[in-house]
Structure 1
Amino acid sequence: MADWYTTFANSGVGTTITKQLGLPRPVELRRYEPGQPLLPGPVVVGSAGQGRLRDTVTAVLRDAGVTVQSPVTADGGTDGEKLGAVVLDATGLTGPADLAGAHDFLAPALERLRSSGRVLVLADPPAAAGSPARAAARQAVDGLVRSIAKELRGGSTANAVFVPEGAEESLAAPLRFFLSGRSAYVDGQLLTLSAADVPANPDEEKPLAGKVAVVTGAARGIGAAIAEVLSRDGAHVVAVDVPAAGEQLARVANAIGGTAVALDITAEDAGPRLVQQLVARHGGVDVVVHNAGITRDKLLVNMDAARWNSVMAVNLQAQLDITQALLDAEGALKPGARIVCVSSQSGIAGNRGQTNYAASKAGVIGMVRAWAPEFAERDATINAVAPGFIVTEMTAKMPFGTREIGSRINSLQQGGLPVDVAETIAWLSQPASAGVNGQTVRVCGQSLLGA
C-alpha cells in the first residue's frame, strides 16, 4: 500500500491544489532498487576537530563508484551540481569550540543538497569522552543531527554514527546503508558501533546469498515484506505464522521460493520444535527476525488479564523463549548469526490505550541490550528495529483523522511503507553489519513523538 496523500500531492492536480491551499507536499522518497547506484549525485566530505575517518569514508565511497568532492567545492562550487550526500567527520572533537567547524562545513554544503539527499555525521561516543568538555562536544552531535533532520526538506534525511576507536572497520556497512535508498524512512537516528570482524568485499547485490533466514509473522503486512526483501538479498526464507494464516503464509513462501511453517510461537514447545526443524532441514539458521506481534488495545483501567497476557506472550515472551532455545541448542545458530527483533515507536514514546503493547515493545529493547554481550562473544549480533507509522492494511482501517495525524507528525511528513522496515532489517542481517550490536534503530521518519 502507498501513502495516498503523498501520491496525490505529487500528481499534476495535487501539486496545484496543495500549492494554492498552502498544504504540505511530502515528496516520494528515494527507495532502494537492485542495481541502482549508491547515490544519485556526488558527496562532499568534511571534518570538524581532528577527524580520523575522512580517508576511510572517502575510500568506501570511491569503491562504491561515488564522486567525492572537497569542502571547498561545497562552498559555491564550479558546476553547481547538486549533492547526493554530505558527510561530516566530527571525530576528535575536544570541546565546544571545535563545533564551529561543523557549522562552517555544513551550512554551505546543505544548500547544495538535492531532493532525497543524505546527511551523515560521524563522531566519537560521548560515554568514552574522558573529560566534561569532550563529552559536551560529542553529545552536542546528538542535538545537531536531530535538528538538521527537522530542517531538511525534499525527503532528505540526517543521521549520526558514533565510531569508537578500534571500530573503524565496522563503518563501511552503516555508511552505505545511511547514504542509500535502503534508509529512506530512517531519519534523525544515532547509532553506536563496536569493533568486529567484518568480511572483506561483501556482495552488495546478494549480501545474504546462501543464508537461511526465519521470519515470524510472515503471512502479511510488514512480515511478508521482510520475507520478500531477505529473499531478494539471497536468503532462503523460512516463513512462520499461526496455523490459521496457513493459506496466506503458503502464498508468501511460494512466491519467494521459501518454506512455510505453521506454528503458534506462544506454544510451550514452539522454540524446541522450530529449532529441531531448522537443524534437521537447513543445518541451522543464519538470520532470525522476530516480527510476530499483536495488539489488544484498551485503557489500562479497562484492560482485562486476557488482553494483557496475550500481548505479552506474543510480543515479548515468545521472542525470549525462541531466542533462548536457539542459544541452548548446539549448532542451531550458525557462525555470524543475526537476530533482529521488531520493537515499536510505542515502546519508546508510549501510546494511550496501549500499555500492554508499549510495555512489551519496550521490553524487546531491554532484551536486545542485555543479550548483546553474549551474542558478541559468539561473533553474532542482536538488534531491534522500532517502526513508527507504517502504511499497512491495518492502518487503513483506522479512523481517517487518526490515520492522517499519525502519518504526518514526522520530519518526512508521510507514513512509511513495510519495505522501509524490511530494508533496515535486511541491512542488520548482513554479515557486513557485524559491528552493529545491541542497537535499536527507529524506522519512523523522525517521528515527533518520543526520543
Structure 2
Amino acid sequence: MTDRYASFVRSGAGRALVKRLGLPDPPRLRRHTPGDPLLNGPALLGSATGGRLAGPVGKILTAAGVELRDPATADAQERFGALVYDATGVTDSTGLRQLYDFFHPRARSVLPGGRVIVLGTPPDECGTPREATAQRALEGLTRSIGKEFGRGVTAQLVHVTAHGDAGTATGLEATLRFLLSGRSAYVSGQVVRVGAGAAEPPADWDRPLDGQVVLVTGAARGIGAALARVLSRDGAQVVALDIPAAGDELAAVANEIGGTAVQLDLTAPDAPTRLADHLASRHGRVDVVVHNAGITRDRTLGRMDADRWDSVIDVNLSSQERINDVLLERGLIPAGGRIVSVSSIAGIAGNRGQTNYATSKAGVIGLVQSLAPALRERGISVNAVAPGFIETRLTARIPLVVREAGRRMNSMAQGGLPVDVAETIGWLAWPASGAVSGNVVRVCGQSLLGA
C-alpha cells in the first residue's frame, strides 16, 4: 500500500509546504539490508560515575565493527550514528544531571536514522528506593528523546540485570545489535529487559538462525509472509502454516523461501496434536514457535454477536495456549527454544469497535508474562511484539481519515511495514537472545496512543 502523503512530502514542493505549514514530516527510515554496517556513523559511548556496563558494551561494539568515540575527546562538531549511555551508576535523582550533561550538547549531533540507547538497572533490582526512583526516571528520558530528535532517530531504554552474565557479550550483544541496526527502524520508545538467561552467539551474525527450525502461523500473507522471508533469510528452516483456504498463497510463500507448507485450521479440536505429529516426524523438534495467526471481527460490544467474540478469542489467544501446551508437553521445544507471540497496541490501549480483538491481544501479553518465569528453568524464552499501524491489506481497507490518523500519530509520522514486525520477531527468535524473556516490544514507530 502506497503512502502518497509521504511520497509527496519528499518532493521539492512537498518539503516547502511541510516546513511552511508545520505538517507531519515522515523521515526516510534506515532499514536493514544484509551486509549493511551496524551503524551509519561512529558511536559516542558515555557513562555515569560508577556505571557497570560501559566496559562490556565498548568491547561488544568494537567487535561488531563500530567506531567508538569518548565524550572527553570527541570533536564537538562530529556527528554520530548512535549515542549510547551507561546510566547504571545513577543511584539517586541528583545523579540524573549526568544524563543532561551527556545528551544536551549532542541533541543535534545524531545522524538521520541514528540510534539512542540508555542502559539501566531494573528498578526492582535496585538496592535502595532512591536508586529505584532514579532508574525508573530513565524511561521518561528515553521516550521523550524518541519524540524530540526526529529524522528517523530511535531511542530505547535497556534494563540489564546485575545478576548472571547479562552484562557480558553473551547476554547483551544480540539486543544491542538489533537496536542499533536498521532492523529496529520502526521500534522506538521501548523498554527492553535483558535478564540472565543462556544465550548462544551465532557463527555468523548475518545468519543468526542457521540450523533453526521455525514455525510461523498465519504465514500466507501480510506480516506472516514477511516473517517467513526474514527468518529464512537469517538461516532458518521455516515451516509455514495457514488455513486450507489460503493454500495457494501459502504454497507460493513456502516455495519462494524453500520452506514447507502446512495447511491447518488451528481452531480444529485435533489441530495441536496434528501439528505436533508433523513437527516430530519431519523435524524432530521446533526451535522457534511464532504465533502470528490472527483475525478481526469488529463491532462495538453492544452490537457484537457471540460468534464474533468467540472466533477472535479462539484464533488469537486460545489456539496459542493449546499449541504451546502440546508442544511443551511432548518436549518438542528444546532448551534454547523460543516462543514469540504477536499482540497489538490494541491490547495495550484498547480500541473502539474491537473489544474482542483487544481482549485477545491483551491476553497474549498475559500469556507471555505468565509463561516466561515458568519456562525459564527449561531454557525457553517467551516474548511478544505489539504492532501499531502496519501497512497491510487490512489497514488499506480502513477509511481514509482514520487511516491517515493511524499513520501520522507516531514519532515517525508514517505506518510501519510488515518487515518491521518480522525483523523484531527475528531478533527475539535468535539463539543469541536467550537473555530476553517476558518482554512486550511495540513495533509502532512510538505510537502516541497507549503506553
- The interval holding the TM-score normalised by the smaller chain is over 0.9
Aligned equivalents of 2:176, 2:226: Cα separation in 1 = 24
The aligned runs of 1:224-235 (5 Å cut-off) are: 224-235=225-236
Q: Percent identity?
A: 57
* Structure 2 equivalent of residue 375 of structure 1: 375
* Structure 1 equivalent of residue 19 of structure 2: 19
User: Any idea what SS the aligned residue of 1:168 has?
Assistant: coil
* Structure 2 equivalent of residue 274 of structure 1: 275
Aligned equivalents of 1:11, 1:328: Cα separation in 2 = 57
**1:65 is aligned to 2:49:** no
* Structure 2 equivalent of residue 168 of structure 1: 167
Change in CA separation of 1:4 and 1:212 when aligned onto 2, cut-off 3 Å: farther
Aligned equivalents of 1:310, 1:133: Cα separation in 2 = 48
Note if contact 2:201-2:431 (Cα within 8 Å) is conserved in structure 1: no
**Once the 2 structures are TM-superposed, how far is the Cα of residue 20 of structure 1 from its aligned partner?**
4.4
Aligned equivalents of 1:172, 1:3: Cα separation in 2 = 35
More deviation in 340-349 or 375-384? 375-384
Aligned equivalents of 1:111, 1:202: Cα separation in 2 = 37
**Once the 2 structures are TM-superposed, how far is the Cα of residue 2 of structure 1 from its aligned partner?**
4.5
User: Any idea what SS the aligned residue of 2:72 has?
Assistant: helix
* Structure 2 equivalent of residue 87 of structure 1: 84
User: Any idea what SS the aligned residue of 1:333 has?
Assistant: coil
Aligned equivalents of 1:71, 1:109: Cα separation in 2 = 10
**1:96 is aligned to 2:103:** no
Aligned equivalents of 2:201, 2:296: Cα separation in 1 = 42
Note if contact 2:24-2:408 (Cα within 8 Å) is conserved in structure 1: no
**Once the 2 structures are TM-superposed, how far is the Cα of residue 318 of structure 1 from its aligned partner?**
0.4
Aligned equivalents of 1:22, 1:139: Cα separation in 2 = 33
Q: Give aligned pairs, total.
A: 447
The aligned runs of 1:7-406 (5 Å cut-off) are: 7-74=7-74, 77=75, 80-166=77-163, 167-169=166-168, 170-200=171-201, 202-330=203-331, 332-406=332-406
**Once the 2 structures are TM-superposed, how far is the Cα of residue 195 of structure 1 from its aligned partner?**
0.4
* Structure 1 equivalent of residue 425 of structure 2: 425
User: Any idea what SS the aligned residue of 1:50 has?
Assistant: coil
**Once the 2 structures are TM-superposed, how far is the Cα of residue 13 of structure 1 from its aligned partner?**
4.1
Note if contact 2:223-2:422 (Cα within 8 Å) is conserved in structure 1: yes
Whichever residue aligns with residue 98 of structure 2, its letter is G
Note if contact 1:202-1:432 (Cα within 8 Å) is conserved in structure 2: no
Change in CA separation of 1:421 and 1:32 when aligned onto 2, cut-off 3 Å: same
Normalization by structure 2: what TM-score? 0.97
Whichever residue aligns with residue 315 of structure 2, its letter is V
Note if contact 1:49-1:94 (Cα within 8 Å) is conserved in structure 2: no
**Once the 2 structures are TM-superposed, how far is the Cα of residue 375 of structure 1 from its aligned partner?**
1.9
User: Any idea what SS the aligned residue of 2:386 has?
Assistant: strand
Note if contact 1:336-1:380 (Cα within 8 Å) is conserved in structure 2: yes
Change in CA separation of 1:120 and 1:368 when aligned onto 2, cut-off 3 Å: same
Whichever residue aligns with residue 378 of structure 1, its letter is R
Note if contact 1:91-1:123 (Cα within 8 Å) is conserved in structure 2: yes
Change in CA separation of 1:186 and 1:2 when aligned onto 2, cut-off 3 Å: farther
Aligned equivalents of 1:340, 1:19: Cα separation in 2 = 41
Note if contact 1:7-1:28 (Cα within 8 Å) is conserved in structure 2: no
User: Any idea what SS the aligned residue of 1:71 has?
Assistant: coil
Change in CA separation of 1:251 and 1:13 when aligned onto 2, cut-off 3 Å: farther
Aligned equivalents of 1:408, 1:259: Cα separation in 2 = 38
Note if contact 2:108-2:149 (Cα within 8 Å) is conserved in structure 1: no
**Once the 2 structures are TM-superposed, how far is the Cα of residue 238 of structure 1 from its aligned partner?**
0.7
Whichever residue aligns with residue 400 of structure 2, its letter is F
**Once the 2 structures are TM-superposed, how far is the Cα of residue 7 of structure 1 from its aligned partner?**
2.6
Whichever residue aligns with residue 448 of structure 2, its letter is L
User: Any idea what SS the aligned residue of 2:336 has?
Assistant: strand
Aligned equivalents of 1:382, 1:202: Cα separation in 2 = 23
Aligned equivalents of 1:50, 1:64: Cα separation in 2 = 25
More deviation in 289-298 or 332-341? 332-341
**Once the 2 structures are TM-superposed, how far is the Cα of residue 201 of structure 1 from its aligned partner?**
5.2
Whichever residue aligns with residue 436 of structure 1, its letter is V
Structure 2: stretches of 5+ with no match in the other structure:
none
Aligned equivalents of 2:442, 2:2: Cα separation in 1 = 20
RMSD of aligned C-alpha atoms? 1.3
**Once the 2 structures are TM-superposed, how far is the Cα of residue 86 of structure 1 from its aligned partner?**
0.2
Aligned equivalents of 1:336, 1:442: Cα separation in 2 = 24
Whichever residue aligns with residue 314 of structure 2, its letter is A
